Every structure is written in structure tokens, then in C-alpha cells.
Structure 1
Amino acid sequence: MITVIIIGAGNVATHLYKAFRQAETISIVQWYNRDIRKLAMHQSDVETIDDLSLLKPADVYIIAVSDDAIAKISEKLPFEDRFVVHTSGSVSVYDIDQKNRRGVFYPLQTFSKDVPLPMETVPICLETIGKKDAPLLKKLGESIGCKTYKVNSDQRRTLHLAAVFVNNFTNQLYRVAHEITEAEGVEFDILKPLILETANKVQNISPYLAQTGPAKRNDKKTIKKHLKLLESEQHQAIYKLLTSAIKQTQGVTNKPFKHTNLNT
């Protein structure tokens, strides 16, 4: 049995808690958050605390808080030579206070508290300073049905950067599309099958081969029409930037767009 204490009550912490509770080989000893009211709905299932001095012994302490708070929380832990990990994609393992053994348990996925997610589909990126701690983290990930990957700090930061492109930036493009359709009273839901097919396609072929559209075809007339339809300067700038990037990637040679307002 692996004993775990969770520190933090955000999106990642909440999903890990739910996954750990369902695992037969994991026992959640405590759940800490400085605002214990956020843990109120779980008080009947696990011991909840808001005082770090009350932390009990455990095999691993998982700090699942905002990136800026990881170092401060680790400094305040009232013990030494225990195994402490964080869940961030961009924070160094060395940001954890050196008084304890250190590691990273990074689930590479987008999490929202109220959106169900099958944890077994989430890859877990693992990093430890001490080799003897690596098997424990691997077992922890496998106990919740996840595939685990041993990565170093540079690889993890690279993955996090790539994740921003495929998730955060892509989601912002969904938001732009939602604004465009909403302005004309068109149902955004009509685009959802296209969103799913785009994601499914790169499961089998490379993004390069999956690319379609007017930029790849160098369809200048369509591109010009699209730009005239866009009333927002920000949307125009995004369209121009991505169109130019696609053309460059696909080997379509022409002059880059000038970033000027087409409405003037």
C-alpha cells in the first residue's frame, strides 16, 4: 500500500484525489489546503487539514498548487528526509526544498474540477533526484492505470511548452471561432465534429500531413475574403500569423502579410 498526502485543492489535486481513492493499492492519509472550506465536501471520506504542522508520515507528499507557491510550501513542510513531489510541468524539481527527497509527478493533461476525465488516459511524466525513489513514483502512476514516462527537467519543460500550443492556444482559437459564429447567429456546435476529426486525425498521421485549407493550397482569393469578414484586428492578426506559418511549413512561397488594419 502506498500512503499519500495531497497538498492543494485545485484542478490537478482534485482529479488525483478521485483517482487515488479508487485505487486499491493507494491510501490517502490526509488532504491539506490552507482554505479548508474548499475540502468540506470530502471531510467524510478523508482527513482534511489546514495546518502543515499536523501532517502525518506518508510515503509521498504531493504538492499540487500553483507554480509560484511550490517553493514556499515546500519550505514550510515541518519535516526532513521525506519524499516530496510537485505536479508542475514547468517548475524545476530543485524548487522543492532540499531538506527532503525530491521528485516530479506531472500528469500531462488539461484538468477542470467539474469535468470528468478517465485518469487512465493521462500520461504521467516522472522525475526524481534520488534513483531509489523512482520505482515508487512509477508504481503510484501505474496504480491509477496511467502510462508513466521517465523524463528529465529539460524534456518536461519542452513537453509543457508543446502542451501550451496544443491545448491552451488551440482552446483560444476555439474561443475565436465561437466569437465569429456567435456574431452571425450561427451554432458553434456545428463545428464540433470538425474539432473531433482534427484531433482524431493526428492520432494516425503527422500534423504536417494532416494539414488542409486555403493556406496550404495558397488560395489567395479565399484568404482575402476571410480577412475582409474579420472585424476584429486581433482576429485578423491571428489569421495572418497562422496563415503565414502554414505557408512556410508547407513550402508555399509568397510575401508575408503586412500586419495592417484592413478596415481602414
Structure 2
Amino acid sequence: MISVVILGAGNVATHLFKAFEKAENIVVNQWYNRSLKTIKPYKNKIEIIDDLALLNDADVYIIAVSDDAIAELSEQLPFENKLVVHTSGGVGVYDIDKKHKRGVFYPLQTFSKDAEMDFKSVPICIETIDKKDYHILKALAISIGSPTKKVNSDQRRVLHLAAVFVNNFTNQLYRIGHEITESEGAEFDLLKPLILETAKKVQELSPYMAQTGPAKRHDKKTIKKHLKILKNEQHKDIYKLLTKSIQNTHGTSTGSATNFEKNTHNGRKKL
């Protein structure tokens, strides 16, 4: 049986608690947060505390807070030589205070509190300083059904950076698409099968091979029409930047980046 204490109450912490609660060989001893209000709905399932001095003994202490708060919280923990890990993709393992055994338990997935999560589709990237600690974290991940991958700090950082592109930035593009459709009363829901097919396609093809669209085909008239439709200057800039990126990737640009920008300035000049 692996005993765990969760520190923090964000999306990741909440989903980890739910997963650990269902696992047969994991027991969550406590759940700490600075404000009990956030975790109060779970008070009948787990001991909740807002005072670090009340922390119980555990095999693993999981810090699931904002990146900027990890180092300070690890320093405030009133013990030493215990396995303390964080769940961030972008924070170094050495950011955890050196009085602890240090590690990273990074679930590579997007989390929203109200969305159900099956950890079978959540790879856990594990990093430890001591090899013995790695086996504990691997067992913890396996217990909730997650595939595991041993990574070093550099690999984890680039995975997190890539995740920002494929998830956070992509979601922002969805939001822009939603705004564009609403501007003319079109239904965003009609795009959802396309969104799903796009995600499905990269399961079988590389993103390079899966690329389609007017930028790759260099459909100058279509690109010009799109830029004319866009009223938001920021959206125009994003459209032009991504078009240029696609054309550079696929070798379909008719000129230098400067020439492309000149030809598409505000969507007014001819491509």
C-alpha cells in the first residue's frame, strides 16, 4: 500500500485524488490546501487540512500547485528526507527543497475539474534523483492505470513546451474559430467532426503528412478572401503567421518571409 498526501487543490490535484481514491493499493492520508473552502466538498472522504504542521506521515507528498509556488511550498514542509514530488512539466526537479528526496510526477494531459478523466489515457512522465524513488512513483502511476515514461529534465521541458502548442494554443484557435462563426451566426458545432478527425488523423500520420489547406496548396485567392473577412487585426496576424509557417514547412512559399508579409499586409495587397 502506497500512502500519499496531496498538497494543492487545482485541476491536477483534484483529478489525482479521484484516481487515487479508486485505486486498490493507494491510500490518501490527507489533502492540504491553504484554503479549506476549495476542498471542503471532499471532507467526508478525506482528512482536509490548511496547516502544514498537521501533516501526517506518507510515502509520497505530491505538490500540485502553480509553478511559481512549488519551491516555496516545498521549503515550508516541516520535515526532511521524505519523497516530495511536483506535477509540473516546466519546473525543475531541483526546484524542490534539497532537504527532501526529490522527484517529478508529471501527468501529460489537459485537466478541467468538471471533465471526467480516464488515467489510462494519461501518460505519467517520471523523474527522480534517486533510482529507488523512481520505482515508487512508477508503481503509483501503474496503480491508477497510467502508462509511464522515465524522462530527464530537458525532455520533460520540451514535452511541456510542445504540449502548450498542441493543447493551449490549439484551444485558443478553437476559441477564435468560435468567435468567427458567431460573427455571422454560423454554428460552431458543425466544426466539431472536423476537430475530431484532425486529432484522429495524427494518430496514424505525422503532423507533416496530415497537413492540408489553402496555405499548403498556396491558394492565393482563398487566402486573400480569408484575410478580407477577418475584422480583428490580431486574428489577421495569427492567420498570416500560421500561413507563413505552413508554407515554410512545406516549401510552398513563393518568396521570403518579408515578401509574404508585404503581400498580405492587412489583407489589402494582392497575393
TM interval, shorter chain, is over 0.9
CA distance in 2 between counterparts of 1:206 and 1:263 reads 35
| Secondary structure of 1:28's aligned partner | strand
CA distance in 2 between counterparts of 1:115 and 1:189 reads 19
Q: Which runs of 4+ in 1 moved over 3 A?
A: none
Q: 1:257 — aligned with what?
A: 261
Q: 2:33 — aligned with what?
A: 33
Contact 2:126 2:137 in 1 (8 A): yes
Residue pairs, 1:138-177, within 5 angstroms = 138-177=138-177
Residue pairs, 1:104-119, within 5 angstroms = 104-119=104-119
CA distance in 1 between counterparts of 2:268 and 2:18 reads 51
Contact 1:101 1:130 in 2 (8 A): yes
Pairwise CA distance, 1:39? 1.0
Q: Does 1:4 align with 2:9?
A: no
Q: 2:227 — aligned with what?
A: 227
| Secondary structure of 1:45's aligned partner | coil
Q: Which amino acid aligns with 1:261?
A: N
Identity of aligned residues (%): 67
Contact 1:71 1:96 in 2 (8 A): yes
Q: Which amino acid aligns with 2:141?
A: G
What TM-score comes out, normalization by structure 2 length? 0.96
Contact 1:84 1:102 in 2 (8 A): yes
Pairwise CA distance, 1:254? 1.2
The one-character-per-residue Cα deviations of 1:210-257 (angstroms, maximum 9, x if unpaired) are 001111111111111111111111111111011111111111031322
Pairwise CA distance, 1:117? 1.3
Q: What are structure 1's unaligned runs of at least 5 residues?
A: none
RMSD (CA atoms): 1.1
CA distance in 2 between counterparts of 1:71 and 1:213 reads 45
Q: 2:127 — aligned with what?
A: 127
Q: What are structure 2's unaligned runs of at least 5 residues?
A: none
What TM-score comes out, normalization by structure 1 length? 0.98
CA distance in 2 between counterparts of 1:241 and 1:253 reads 13
Contact 1:11 1:113 in 2 (8 A): yes
Aligned residue pairs total 264
Contact 2:29 2:47 in 1 (8 A): yes
Pairwise CA distance, 1:261? 2.7
Q: Which amino acid aligns with 1:57?
A: D
CA distance in 2 between counterparts of 1:23 and 1:120 reads 13
